[in-house]
Structure 1
């Protein structure tokens, strides 16, 4: 691995550490407040940070979508993905949520065939099948109670995968500002409409945790941006799985959680399948199902509209424009 790639891998690891901390904060707040309330303030406080980045979008055009149906689908599915992920992190052990959401690269690979017309060979199909077996091992159907938290995590994984494939399909045609602002505004409207029914007054320390939530999401996004600028996806993408280490650590230290053996086994199978798919796609030049770029890593919109893939694309355009000006 060349020095630049090593730096990219390390930076991505730091970014994913920020994201894991972001999810731990969600879980900590989820014991007291409604998921809708946490989600609403997460978007509200993160909006100024995103607006600062939007000024870097030099792409000519307006905020009117060129592919309105796809943008609407991306927006609606993004709202569902974000809420599902937030609810799952608040109600399930961190390791279980990550294990389920780690299945996104597998689902993205499968969805790329009917939606994008991509060709997936038998080896990658086998990796998808093996990875989904890992998901079933984690869920242990029949052995454990299937809760709303499990349903939320599965929903987030599925809808987040659709969002990622949609981004791949129309992302080159739409301005990043369009792909970022519409989901954020939709989340504010939907979650805001529910606030009169779920709002609980928050003391200053908890408001501080919400601000920390926004900062951690922003810092994680920047970490991935720098990582992708310094190293190829085949090196950066597998770094997302480091979050399971933080999940175990945070679970033990703060939430009295310890992963079960079957959860560990199933997670290992899912991770191995995901890494194999990333390596196969990178080697073959196919970039459809890169878990990090297209799905805030593996889990869709846990930052509710703060789409990592969109923002990385946006900031990259800004840097390219700056280089062109200098030249």
Structure 2
């Protein structure tokens, strides 16, 4: 792997995380006034044209039926729950607190991989797992911050996101990228459509525009992260996830009057260090 390719991979990873952060900020902006199901519904509806355009423009073609329908059904169910939990967490918590919990995903990937894929956990990764969980305690400082349902939702989203990743690894790359995107998106849209009549509130055009920007940013981010992993190894791309704490600090302060405490910064640093150790060990093992 050449250095220029690694640089491109890292830059694409940074771009993807910035795009995902834009989508997350949109969720937080809308979350105070709308139910998570309504946000998911309109984000899904506005994403569909992008999916259709991608399918039409794909020169490779190919069928849209999943190669492993049972795994796809399980993934879709997990993604639906993940979307609900993540949306609720961003709407309820300061950005920095939400990201601190979401950053534990590599830790849960390690644990779930050991349970489901029988991947061994060596001593260093085991210590990193424990350190990462302790980092969450430091970041949230339960003695000073009252834990709320938003914290539980963020933790659930981290675990569900890890489960989704492990299922994708288990499938061995059998599915096309657009198939991996399409079925969970349709599952989210169906569930949100069923719930919408019970939670709907009229949305002005400005809020619809925010939802459209969220959909575009998330869709573009997904393809950017795929392109990044195709150009550089995981040890280069995966740490780019932690750049989101910078977005959390900047946009949290500018848009939501949120200030990161020293405790949150310290705990997040511990979580990031643990995640880097896990990624490095995983890359070496692979």
User: TM-score, normalising length from structure 1?
Assistant: 0.81
Instruction: String of CA shifts for 1:36-89, please: whole Å, max 9, x gaps.
Output: 1111111111122123334538485561x4544322221111101111111111
2:28, 2:81 → 1: CA distance? 18
Match of 2:221 in 1: 220
Match of 1:173 in 2: 174
- 1:117 deviates by 1.6
Provide the aligned length of Structure 1 versus Structure 2.
284
- Superposed counterparts of 1:21-36, under 5 Å: 21-36=22-37
Given the alignment of the two structures, is residue 149 of structure 1 paired with residue 150 of structure 2, yes or no?
yes
> Once superposed, what is the RMSD of the aligned Cα atoms?
2.0
Match of 2:197 in 1: 196
Match of 1:132 in 2: 133
5+ long unaligned stretches in structure 2: none
Match of 2:123 in 1: 122
1:240, 1:58 → 2: CA distance? 30
Contact preservation (8 Å) 2:51, 2:178:
no
Given the alignment of the two structures, is residue 41 of structure 1 paired with residue 42 of structure 2, yes or no?
yes
1:212, 1:60 → 2: CA distance? 29
Match of 1:241 in 2: 242
2:78, 2:204 → 1: CA distance? 32
Sort the Cα spacing of 1:119 and 1:68 in 2 relative to 1 into closer, same or farther, 3 A. same
User: TM-score, normalising length from structure 2?
Assistant: 0.92
1:228, 1:173 → 2: CA distance? 16
Contact preservation (8 Å) 2:106, 2:275:
yes
Sort the Cα spacing of 1:239 and 1:43 in 2 relative to 1 into closer, same or farther, 3 A. same
Match of 2:13 in 1: 12
1:174, 1:68 → 2: CA distance? 10
Using the TM superposition, name which of 138-147 and 26-35 deviates more: 138-147
1:71, 1:223 → 2: CA distance? 22
User: Which fold has the larger relative contact order, with Cα–Cα distance below 8 Å and residues 6 or more apart in sequence?
Assistant: 2
Higher share of residues assigned helix: 2
Contact preservation (8 Å) 2:55, 2:61:
no
5+ long unaligned stretches in structure 1: 286-327
SS at match of 2:260: coil
Contact preservation (8 Å) 1:61, 1:175:
no
Given the alignment of the two structures, is residue 252 of structure 1 paired with residue 250 of structure 2, yes or no?
no
Using the TM superposition, name which of 261-270 and 243-252 deviates more: 261-270
2:59, 2:35 → 1: CA distance? 34
